[in-house]
Amino acid sequence: MYAAIGIVILIVMVFGGFAITGGALGPVMHAIPHEMLIICGAAAGAIVTGNNLHGIKAFGGGFGKVFKGPRHTKQDHIDAIILTTKLMKLLRAEGPVALESHVTEPQNSPIFAEFPRLLANKPLTALICDTLTLIVVSSGTLEVHAVEEVMDNAMKQHFHEMHEPQHALQNLADALPALGIVAAVLGVVKTMGSIDKPPSVLGGMIGSALVGTFMGVLLAYGIVAPMAGRLKQIIEADEQIFHAVKQVVIASLHGWPQPLVVEGARSGLGHDFRPGLSELLDALRGR
């Protein structure tokens, strides 16, 4: 929502300020469609050239994320800590055999069934199930640091994929001023072909060409670059739930008491998603 509000403020202040200071919006509005056709068309071609189909879809999804915000809610973080704690408690109390069916077939697990939103989150479910499956098949003989390294590698790869749309959006922001210059140069070429026209006509044509530079810079630094920055914030917020799960698994394998395990996972969350310790312990008891 804030992204949409920011864009509206930007447009109103830029064009409103231009109009208030005596600028004529008519020639600008007349030139914008033609200049935007060149700039946006070139940008679209660059995006298609630099990405595969998956990357293009992820790029489009990145725009949606900017307006939707983080995927995971505060309740999702609470549920992730509770789910992982319950699984680790089952492992410690009843052993790998009792845990096996839950992590090899999570869709049929009564524990996972309590958390349908998390079960629908395939990357998060995969991190939990793949890690615990390794522990099950090794009969609990794996070194804790080895489990942590495996989780770190899995998370690193997933986070890399999550950040690809943000990098593509930032690359687009970096390219837009140059694409605006491309549109402006074409406008100047068109103007030079009409050099025999009267000054009033040439002035309008040059002004239209300069709108290309203006739009390229405005789009880059006023819209796309801020969107890339916001997308980075959202992605980093969505990473926190994975770190919380990892903390529960590793701390449990170290044999920490359950309240300390929960506090370790809770304290690593950002303020927007961090529940109170009492709130989290009460939710754990309620489950």
Neighbour-count burial for 250-259, b at 16+ CB within 10 Å, e otherwise: bbbbeeeebe
Joined together, the tokens standing for residue 214 give: 């203006």
How far apart are the C-alpha atoms of 91 and 97, rounded to whole Å?
A: 8
Question: Is the pLDDT at 1 greater than 80, yes or no?
Answer: no
**Mean of all residue pLDDT scores within the chain:** 91
* 59 touches 165 (CB < 8 A): yes
Predicted pLDDT of residue 265: 92
Residues in the chain: 287
Question: Is the pLDDT at 6 greater than 80, yes or no?
Answer: yes
Predicted pLDDT of residue 205: 82
Burial of 186 (0-12, 13-18, 19+ CB in 10 A): middle
How remote is the C-alpha of 246 from its chain's centroid? Answer: 20
Predicted pLDDT of residue 279: 86
Q: How many CA atoms lie within 13 A of 7 on its CB side?
A: 13
Q: How many CA atoms lie within 13 A of 150 on its CB side?
A: 18
How remote is the C-alpha of 234 from its chain's centroid? Answer: 5
Question: Is the pLDDT at 101 greater than 80, yes or no?
Answer: yes
Write down the pTM of the prediction: 0.87
Model confidence pLDDT, tens digit, residues 110-152: 999 999 999 999 999 999 999 999 999 987 678 999 999 999 9
Model confidence pLDDT, tens digit, residues 36-51: 999 999 999 999 998 8
Model confidence pLDDT, tens digit, residues 182-227: 999 988 888 888 777 787 777 778 888 899 999 999 999 999 999 9
Predicted pLDDT of residue 40: 93
* Phi, psi values for residue 173, rounded to 5°: -60, -40
Mean pLDDT of 99-119: 93
How far apart are the C-alpha atoms of 237 and 242, rounded to whole Å?
A: 10
Residues 6+ apart with CB under 8 A from 46: 172, 175, 179
Predicted pLDDT of residue 198: 80
How remote is the C-alpha of 194 from its chain's centroid? Answer: 47
* 165 touches 62 (CB < 8 A): yes
pLDDT, greater one: 142 or 20: 20
Percent of the chain with pLDDT over 70: 99
Query: Which residue's entry shows tokens 């489009």?
Result: 60
Residues 6+ apart with CB under 8 A from 264: 247, 248, 251, 256
